[in-house]
């Protein structure tokens, strides 16, 4: 339930930015403008110790950055101000938010280099990046193609390849690879609320998921079709209805159906799958959406968004499957959210797919 509320809050918060996105399939759409508060954190393998680096955009001139190396006890956070100029970001001010240690200067310098680099790389990708063939990426035709940029970077050992995807917040960068393999890989992304940037600056890598309780769906039970806001759910006696739009399968799974008013949330009808993929792929304090786990399928009128979501409190990995159905008048979108432990889903895939009509 907490995941649904977090996603609906994100829908309302993100509406103003996704409204500026255009039709899927145009390369320019791979670089939607970042909304205030969007952030992305990357596993940074250019360091010997396990290290993560993150970028938070407050507005076009203000960014927060963080670098965390748990094994070394390093955590450096800096607030930067800068001016975009001719495709580059010129830093004009900085404020270190953490108590500096005697060995932190190397991390401070790294953040000072990486923030302008992220800005410059994206500007170069906008003009010189190449759209990646869908056969290589397996991306849905409902999404813009990924964009790849190749350039030389001596600090990373020479030629690097950067991949950009429209659903990734902040700088749209999914990954950066060098000749020896991955250098930057997206680890977490989301959007902080007003006054809530501690969710970004206090980043810590997630723990390994714990196994969920075993579940085996009973076979051969008769299913009733429950229609909620025009969405059909095939539920047998193992499910219990706790509200007109909410159903539980013990402690294993739940379904919640809600309706989004697209005009109220400033969500454009055109490009809606991308808009909602960005929203439902956003992590929150109560849900860590695994980057790279998203799957989008269907048509522009009825599509499914699937993510793996880690529950920090319970320590379990869940499968979140959202069936999105646009109403005939195009003004609303009904979202049926099935959340089930990933272990239970993998052991009973056909059963859960049938519940939501996949």
Instruction: Give pLDDT, residue 28.
Output: 57
CB 341 within 8 A of CB 284: no
Torsion (CA) 241, 244, 245, 250 in degrees, nearest 10: -10
| pLDDT tens track for 52-87 | 999 999 998 999 999 999 999 999 999 999 999 998
* Angle separating helix axes 272-280 and 2-18, nearest 10 degrees: 130
pLDDT in tens, 182-193: 999 999 999 998
Residue 20 has pLDDT above 80, yes or no: no
Residue 22: pLDDT over 50: no
Query: What pLDDT score was predicted for residue 3?
Result: 45
The Cα–Cα gap between 89 and 83 comes to: 6
Residue 227 in this model has a pLDDT that exceeds 70: yes
Nearest to 276 by CA among 312, 233, 323: 323
Full-model pTM: 0.90
Section 43-53 average pLDDT: 97
Tell me which residue has tokens 């980057």.
291
């Amino acid at each position: 339930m907490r995941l649904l509320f977090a996603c609906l809050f994100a829908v309302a918060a993100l509406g103003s930015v996704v409204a500026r996105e255009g039709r899927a399939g145009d390369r320019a759409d791979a670089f939607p403008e970042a909304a205030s508060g969007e952030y992305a954190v990357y596993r940074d393998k250019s360091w010997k110790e396990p290290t993560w680096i993150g970028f938070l955009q407050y507005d076009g001139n203000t960014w927060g950055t963080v670098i965390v190396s748990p094994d070394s006890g390093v955590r450096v956070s800096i607030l930067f101000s800068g001016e975009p100029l001719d495709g580059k970001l010129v830093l004009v001010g900085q404020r270190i938010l953490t108590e500096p240690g005697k060995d932190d200067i190397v991390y401070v310098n790294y953040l000072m280099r990486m923030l302008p680099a992220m800005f410059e790389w994206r500007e170069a990708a906008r003009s010189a990046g190449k759209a990646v063939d869908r056969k290589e990426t397996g991306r849905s035709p409902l999404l813009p193609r990924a964009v790849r940029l190749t350039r030389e970077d001596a600090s990373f050992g020479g030629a690097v390849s950067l991949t950009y995807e429209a659903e990734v917040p902040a700088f749209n960068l999914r990954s950066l690879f060098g000749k020896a393999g991955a250098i930057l890989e997206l680890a977490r992304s989301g959007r902080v609320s007003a006054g809530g940037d501690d969710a970004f600056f206090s980043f810590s890598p997630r723990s390994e998921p714990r196994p969920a309780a075993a579940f085996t769906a009973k076979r051969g039970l008769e299913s009733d079709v429950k229609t909620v806001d025009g969405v059909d759910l095939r539920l047998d006696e193992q499910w219990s209805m706790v509200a007109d739009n909410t159903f539980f399968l013990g402690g294993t799974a739940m379904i919640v159906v809600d309706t989004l008013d697209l005009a109220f949330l400033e969500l454009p009808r055109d490009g809606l799958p991308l808009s909602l993929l960005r929203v439902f792929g956003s992590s929150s304090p109560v849900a860590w959406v695994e980057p790279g786990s998203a799957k989008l399928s269907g048509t522009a009128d009825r599509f499914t968004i699937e993510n793996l979501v880690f529950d920090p409190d319970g320590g379990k990995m869940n499968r979140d499957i959202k069936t999105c159905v646009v109403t005939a008048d195009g003004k609303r979108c009904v979202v049926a959210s099935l959340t089930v432990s990933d272990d239970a889903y993998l052991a009973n895939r056909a059963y859960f797919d049938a519940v939501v009509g996949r």
